[in-house]
Structure 1
Amino acid sequence: MKNPLSIISYGKYDFINSLAIEKLESYHPQSNLELEKVPIQDPYSKNGQELRLNFIRQHLKSNVDYLSGEKTFNDNQSLKGNIENYIGMSQIPTGIIGPLLINGSSAQGPFYVPLATTEGALIASYNRGTKACRESGTITVITLQEGVQRTPTFKFKNLIDLAKFVAWVSENKEIFSILTRETSNYAVLNDLGISIEGNILILKFEYTSGDASGQNMVTICTDKICKYILSNCPIEPVYWTIEGNTSGDKKVTPLTTKVRGKKVTAEITLKRDVIESVLKTTAELLCQQWKISSSGCLKVGASGIATQTANALAALFIACGQDVACTGEAATAITRMEIDENNDLYCSITMSNIIVGSVGGGTSFPTQKECLELMDCYGPGKSGKLAEIAVAVCLAGEISILSAMSSGHFTSAHQTLGR
């Protein structure tokens, strides 16, 4: 069941409705003085670990028995559907940042975000970015579109056969929606795109997938539809495949104006004094560094304009049981910075391929479930919140790393924390 406050466009265009605007405008965040900060002392000692675990248990009222190592995983039967030839668990160090203050269409409040990484300086950088954002105000986050695609591809003897096939497919779209509903309790077929290249036909089936990330779900639904087509269409293709490698699945593609998963945009205006006190740079230098980095992305032909979004997403995905390979498409972003009329710095990020789930996949394993529960992102109805938190974390990280580069602290930070 769709959220009545949803502003998501289940089609080709970004959309925001009036109910979502009212929700965003009615949010009254806690003051910065009321927010409890993550204890950062003794970063490498047992005492420091206990301080943070006690903070999570007492302040966030969250269970972290598996994360802390007090309990260990032994339910091997629950691995079915997730892995084959199981031998054990790979342990990745997990840290926590926050609070990250968000006013979103799905995520509202202060969030403490778990990140799993072996890269020194990453947690410190993202925590500094969240502090700068928090002391400047609230990150506004809006989800604009939603859709997961599968692109079966068909080859024909010639264009005439292809044209007859397309004509039949176009007349039977409603049947495909019915087949989708019969195959999945959560998938909804929202769009069917057609792309023709000579005697090759690409059909792009676009679905929403509830609170699952949806790759397997849409594959199964599309396979059911394609088999119906092949059994009933009077024109038979020479060859067909369930995926023609054009959906953007686990690849960096220039889909920045479309959507794969969820398209989310976020903004924050950094106060000039906060930039100087927390980020140790100036609004002018930070904006200049963004311009240099943006032109660098263009020079090398990067898909999007961003510096380290993959860092945030990989660390969050590992901690929270997401498909880490989806970092390939999810990290595509467009960032923007400009000095406003008050000489503060406006910062934004838009990410079109945030493919996450709060159910299914690896979300129910013990440490992953604990990490999701830290953010109240486990279970049905929570995937939108997780997507908006992910994008807000990415924005905080972009601010922090560009600040470090603009101030000349990037190398020294990694010499201190990353070696």
Structure 2
Amino acid sequence: PVTMENPAAYSANIENFIGTVKLPVGIIGPMRVNGLNAKGDFHVPMATTEAALVASYARGAYVATKAGGISAALLYEGVIRTPAFVFGALFDAGRFVEWVVSNIEVLKTAAEATTRFGKLTSLEPIIDNDVVFLICRYTTGDAAGQNMVTIATNALCQAILQSCPVPVRAWYIEGNFSGDKKASFLGMITGRGRKVSASVVLPGTIVQKFLGTSVQAMLDYGQVANLGSHLSGQLGAQAHFANGLAALYLATGQDAACVAESAVGITRMEARGDDLFVSVTMPNILVGSVGGGTGLPSQSAGLNILGLKGAGHATALAEVAAATCLCGEISIVAAIAAGEFTRAHENLARHR
């Protein structure tokens, strides 16, 4: 009933609107982040129906904060759209690429004319015989930028069609090369969205006292889990990035389907003397502090809890997302290493 009192608030985000779906929201934190952009103690909202998830991430945040906090850095950013062009022969495809490379500035101007914030930072052609993909990479300001780059790329393609002398048999705004909403090797290597690395060194005493296990036990399990990742053909090697990302994305108005690509990355655990170094590197974090679902009432409240709503906060939000995933990795590895994983789910889910 409350939702339907103001349906116009949702009109930019949904069609055939009939109402909203409520999800439980929990909080973890304070989670201390010592990042390039995210600095301070954050309370992170997480929307999920999975019992034990918030408790696990909260435990990871607690020990990471006890250890002095999580270092985090945005390494790179660029949202990709990859239009495809079909030609009559390989020769025409080669001529097309030659023309594109010679007219980068014209195409950049056409793309950037559609947006105040998007900037075309690179354009890379990929030839497969008579088909050419153009990897168009953009920075998108404080927005996640999926719609922004689609509209900009369409303008770029129209400029090509109007001026390029090479006949195009067919073209498509997205050639399914970009990795949009799917795990891909391209995303793993070059990134799509914001690439962030986060790490913490956990003293051995903290591991024993608060995680109920030892540094060596976590390393032993981590070695087996890493082998499992390789043998099963996973892209990257991590325990459960998707859990934390999905809960954070839902609570803050991000595109939840992007978890398919955002949950790709690497978790590392190494001994540092008697202590445990843990890091995550995540090349495809697609978040924004403006646009999309960030203005919806509940999701806006979620960003306000973080203190990261509005312009100027997207890079910090990406670092918080990676730090949150790091906390989840710490907790789940400790739980499995200690033999407590099943019991925790029984106590917090099935038997309560």
With the length of structure 1 as denominator, give the TM-score of the two structures.
0.82
Pick from 72, 79, 84 the counterpart of residue 10 of structure 2: 79
Contact 2:262 2:285 in 1 (8 A): yes
The aligned runs of 1:82-97 (5 Å cut-off) are 82-97=13-28
Report the equivalent of 2:306: 375
Report the equivalent of 1:337: 269
Report the equivalent of 1:56: none
Q: CA deviation at 1:80?
A: 2.5
Report the equivalent of 1:21: none
Q: CA deviation at 1:253?
A: 1.3
Report the equivalent of 1:165: 96
Q: CA deviation at 1:74?
A: 3.1
Report the equivalent of 2:256: 324
The aligned runs of 1:3-402 (5 Å cut-off) are 74-254=5-185, 255-341=187-273, 343-402=274-333
- 1-side partners of 2:167 and 2:294: how far apart? 41
- 1-side partners of 2:204 and 2:3: how far apart? 47
Cα offsets for 1:331-372 (capped at 9, x unmatched): 10101011112x100111100000101001010111100110
**Which letter does structure 1 place at the counterpart of 2:289?**
S
**Which letter does structure 1 place at the counterpart of 2:69?**
T
Contact 1:322 1:362 in 2 (8 A): yes
Identify unmatched segments of 5+ residues in structure 2: none
- 1-side partners of 2:204 and 2:14: how far apart? 49
Contact 2:52 2:349 in 1 (8 A): yes
**More strand per residue:** 2
**More helix per residue:** 2
Cα offsets for 1:227-285 (capped at 9, x unmatched): 11011111121111010111010001123231111000011000101101111100000
Contact 1:256 1:334 in 2 (8 A): no
Report the equivalent of 2:336: 405
- Corresponding position: 1:415 with 2:338: no
Query: CA, structure 1 residues 72+86, in 2 after alignment: closer, same or farther (shift >3 Å)?
Result: closer
**Which letter does structure 2 place at the counterpart of 1:283?**
V
Moved more, 353-362 or 129-138: 129-138
Matched residues, percent identical? 44
**Which letter does structure 2 place at the counterpart of 1:398?**
E
Q: CA deviation at 1:100?
A: 0.3
- 2-side partners of 1:165 and 1:336: how far apart? 43
Q: Secondary structure at the match of 1:359?
A: coil
- 1-side partners of 2:260 and 2:282: how far apart? 12
- 2-side partners of 1:418 and 1:353: how far apart? 31
Contact 2:107 2:160 in 1 (8 A): no
Q: CA deviation at 1:393?
A: 0.4
**Which letter does structure 1 place at the counterpart of 2:181?**
K
Report the equivalent of 1:53: none
Contact 1:73 1:366 in 2 (8 A): no
Contact 1:322 1:361 in 2 (8 A): yes
Q: How much is the aligned-residue C-alpha RMSD, in angstroms?
A: 1.2
Q: Secondary structure at the match of 1:385?
A: helix
Cα offsets for 1:367-411 (capped at 9, x unmatched): 100110111111001111110000000000000000000000000
- 2-side partners of 1:104 and 1:180: how far apart? 32
Q: Secondary structure at the match of 1:140?
A: strand
Query: CA, structure 1 residues 266+73, in 2 after alignment: closer, same or farther (shift >3 Å)?
Result: farther
Tell me the number of residue pairs that the alignment of Structure 1 and Structure 2 aligns: 349
Q: CA deviation at 1:171?
A: 1.0
Q: Secondary structure at the match of 1:350?
A: strand
Contact 2:4 2:19 in 1 (8 A): no
